[in-house]
Structure 1
Amino acid sequence: MLSLKTRIITGLFLVALYGLTAIAIALTLPSSNMVFQQNDEQLVAHLPDSGKVTVVAFSNGQSTLPATPTLLLEEPDVLPYYSDLNRFFDTHSKLSQWLTEGTLLLVDDADNHYPVQSKQRQLTQLPGLFWLQLVCGLAGMVICILVWVPAKRELSIHSFAVTGLSYVLFSSAAAIYSTRDFFISGSLFTWLSGLNHFGALLFSASLAAFLWNYPRRFPYRWLTAGFYLTFAVAIVIDQGQWVASPVDGFHSWVMGIFLAGLLGSVWQWRQTRQQQGDRSALRWVVISIVAGTAFFAGGMILPAMLQVAQPASQGLLFTTFLLMYLGMALGVVRHRLFALEPWWFSLWSWLLGGLFIMLTDLLLAMMLSLSGPVTLTLSVALIGWLYFPLRQYLWKKMFLRHRQELDEWLAQALPAMLKAQQDTQANAGMKQALNAVFQPLAIDVQPMMDSHIHIPDKGQTLIVPEPLEQRTWKLQHAQQGGRIFNRQDTQVASLVLSLHQLVTEARIAHAKGVREERLRIRRDMHDDLGAKLLQLLHRSSDTTKPLVREAIHDLRDLLKDMEGESLSLEAATLQWQEETLQRCKDHGAELVWQARASTTVLGASEFSELTRMLREAVTNALKHASTTVLSVTVEQRGSVLTLIIENDGVNADHPEGPVRGLKIMDSRARKLGGDCQYRKVQGRWQVRLEVPLSSTMV
């Protein structure tokens, strides 16, 4: 199988060969020593030496043909009837024959006869309108080749490619006969006109098939086959002249097929309601098609059908079809319409650059009466000073604004990851980074099935695996549905993933360093401070020993907190009950303990903070009030843990000490996301702590 490059070069070679063939045919058309023009309702000829005369007839010395301005028509199918069209071709056939035989005479309104001499047509005599039509048709075909060759073999792609073929057929045929000097072989004129009709009908049928199958394929093939069958029927009716008028045999069919194709865009719009990527591509396609065909339909087909006005110049209107293909070219880059890469537009931009230089040179040559070197210099200056800067500006404005450079996406991804780390949401760092960089409409997580970053469905979805967590992120519709994913996005996603792994490793290394330092401090406190507190306990009197024991308990809790180990709520409750019971015994108070068993796991920091709050509440009750009965209730409802500490020793005036302790408990509760309330309830003092738990069930 040929490589992509070889196939593209082959296609471009065939297009160039077709263009040379069209030029060769145009050069075979005869020229003469006279220039014919229309003046009001008369045919005027500019003679080489005698000035301008009004032509009333042509003669070969034996027969005479009337001379009318109708013979100058660019497009003969605007005539009302096929009989007029046949008479038009027959007249041109005879005039071309008489000119070739050297017997053609021009008869003016004074019955003077002037011989018309045949001349060989030169390449420089081909008018600018010929080149404009031919080059536009070839350019449209080149675009279709560059789409069709690398794209997947789908019905919509085939139909789009056929529109390019039909465009170059009808535009090149019209370029030859519409820019004739005056004389043309009747048989060649008939053949070229038929080729023009063939291409126009095929264009409408292919465009209709494309609209019904892009971006969503119509479920039934019979509709597409019906468009091409209609094309076949229409061309038979037209060329066989089964009806009286070209309006009924040609123009109505072209317009009818085109309108039926536009109905496909309505169907596509309904089918892409939930697919922003497809709808965006469809919108671009419809705008391009309407922009490219509306001028021709309004300026040529409708006036010919209604016979209400003189149709506009066909040659100029044909060039508007190129707007459609240029719109497709822009859509390839902006919305990746046919799953092509940006290199496609780069190649096309290069081709258009050369074309623009050539057309600018031709335009200046026609508009300015300057020598060849002067016009070439001016065209090069205009290209260098105007075209290239304008092209680069438009390229950057329209296409590069979605391409993020390294500093841009790094500035978006890194803060998101670091914020997730600071918020103790390490697992959310990747999600926040992907959201910040790509701004997808939806992002989901699923088990990892593939370890490669890829785009599975024409750019609507980006799959980013995260091997460290054994999961895959699925992003849909980039930039809030404003564009679709491309190959550059896979590279950016790979860099985001690498950055996330680096941040994760840095976080792990930091946590490891903190843990090692905590363990070192813990060992020092256990070995030094713990030993000294035990010595102090043995040497203390009975009145100070409870205080030393509380200090030892505090040290143990602190050391346990520094270990960073989790603990079940049930085990924590037992420890709290044991410690509170011992303290009540030391102060001669009765303990009423109520707790419900729970398998919830407390984190080390949660256990430490809850222990200190409970201890502070018990201390306030035992030391700063005449408490005889202390009641502690521990219960969990959902994810909220509630501690209620009540005592019967409350006084009307509370000392300053308990107030400071209550403020400390309130501060610790807020640290855990909860709150602390204290009040009198039926002659008892109550402290109520409510704390949400972030741990899981075991």
Structure 2
Amino acid sequence: MIVVICAAVLYVTLAQRVTDIQRVEVSDGKALVELDGQRLQLVALLRSLPEFSEKLIDRSALEQHLAGAPADGVFVDSSDLVEEPDMLPSYTALNAFFDRQSVINGLLEADEIALAVRDADSAENQALRVETLPVMPSRPIGSLPSAFWIQFGAGFLTLTIAAFFMALKPSHPPVVAFAMAGVGVAGAAFSAGIYSTRHMALDPALFVPLSAINQFFTFTFGVATIYLFAIYPVVVMRRKWLWPVSVLSLVFLLLYRMQLAPHDVVSTQNVIMLMLVAIVALVIAQYRATRQDPASRAVLLWLGLSVIMGAGAFVIFVAVPVVLGFDVLVTQSVAFIPLAGIYVGTALAIARFRLFDLGRWAYRILLYAATIGLLFAIDASMIMLLRISPTTSLAIAVALAGIAYLPLRDFFFDRIFRSGMPDLAELYRRTVSVALQPNAVARDAAWIAALDTTFSPMHIERTGGSAENVSPVILDEGEKMLVPSIGGLPTLTLSYAAQGRRLFNNQDAALAGELSALIVTTIADRTSYERGVEEERHRIARDLHDEVGSTLLSGLHATEEARRQECIVDALSDIRQIASGLAGRDVTLASLVAQMRHESRTRAELQGFTLDWPLNETDEGALTLPYRLHRNFHAIHREALSNALNHGVPGVIRVRSSLREQVLSHEIVNTCSTDEPTGSDRRSNAQFRRMGSRNMQARAEQLGGALQTWQSGGQHGVRLEFAVSEPAQ
């Protein structure tokens, strides 16, 4: 059916007789045409007669001829090219318009037509030039102007959407009203597309019915929209009170067409303005009625925006200037674009497609539309009232609209767009508080409290399922938001944001996702911290058991007093290092080397050895060593020194340390006996050295370094190399 209607519109449009005139327009009350690339003023349309075969003709002579033979031609008036005859100021002008259309159409019925023209900028008394043009029986489709395709596209779009929704819910009252509104827009657009883009004239036998059809469908759109707002999103007016709207619209239509009532009372533009007032009143009533229903309020916001952008634009730029007796600000074809926008917006509202995201967009678009409307209003006011030139008035209007726009923008953004934005510091505090709760029950309660404080939902329910790593999602068109399980927390469903005053939107889902991610990160950090604490506890316990305990046990079983004291000193040193690591005190390389030198000299002198460990760059280093490094380094040094004291020949123990490119080299060399031990002494000595070497190798691996031992020429040495940390800042 839609294809048939579109084909019929195209057929009627293309069946019009046309000439080679490329363009026809009105400027400063003159009818201008474009012919062979020249811009000319069209003064009269004439029959192709021998009397007009002269190339030049005087206007007064032409007036005398047409006064005696009015069927031979007609002087062209700017009203002959008006888009919409209903914009004419009176019945007299309307009747004269159709009479002249009849004459011009009769001239186009011939094979040729003569045009009396002159240069567009010439004086009124200049002689007229006669141009004879052939008349083509049909209109090429490529010659149709953009105005036709705009109206044709608007009609096709609205009619297609209306048919689609009627097919889905043919008995649903809001859908029926919606579809009838679409039929109204389509009928008005199709009919206006035919006669508003006529070449020069249209047969009144076709023009008058098309004009009546256009008015009927325009009223149909208004009545259907009033009916829609009366019952949707909620019922604010009973249906029995709506039938007078249809009856009155039909009465106004008949009175206007039969010219039985004053023109200024029943004109199409006046009725359109009254319908818009009724629509706005119903929008206000719907706004009050949906204050406790966020889903319906979201629908209404988008519907209200559509009305303001569409019908409001049509009334302000087309209907109001006509009622006030001024030229329209935009052409009727352009005015169909916002009218089609109303229908698309209504379709989105009824389909309830992602309406939870439309609220803020509605306010934003409304702000921009108000600014544009203010710009046009100022411009039109200065042109109409102050008679300022269009260029000057536009410049002033841009300046004034810009001045008004800035405070309006700040007001709307502060009061609407930025209202309710959570404080980032407060959000961080809430999420960290959730992660740091002592147990799972407390974490669940803190998470629910954080969501309640952030979104103020009417209900928070635990939902089955424990799937993690899923982003929050909007449910039921924004009435609910599902927050999935994260970090062991429960899956929650939040209902009706802001205590039911609004719907959840994508911004809410993104914020909930950020909160969830922050909690996951904080929980992971806490888990890592607790794991580190646990590992540190195990390390301390291991060091106390394996090193301090074994050292004290060795001292307990020692038979020599010197050995017993040495074990006690080593145990105290171990305890001091463990306590230092537990307290988190920084240990620098210089302080560690100084401590090791002091302990080594004390131990060496107690057993009759001499320590040779001169000062070097390690005593001046500002390196801070972590516990792992200084603990293992100290233990390797002490083990190597113990081997030198226990198995070496009394004499000098030479220790050398150096630091090159963040690599520490440490070497201990002592004199050893060249005589090989025998019997049990040999076995115990070898076993002890193997045990000590394995311990030092294990600690060197923990350092990520390399340990070498050697013996040659009565000298035994141990060399350790490992990378150290960066200097402390």
TM-score by length of 2: 0.47
- Flag the structure with larger Rg: 2
Report the TM-score, using the length of structure 1 for normalisation: 0.49
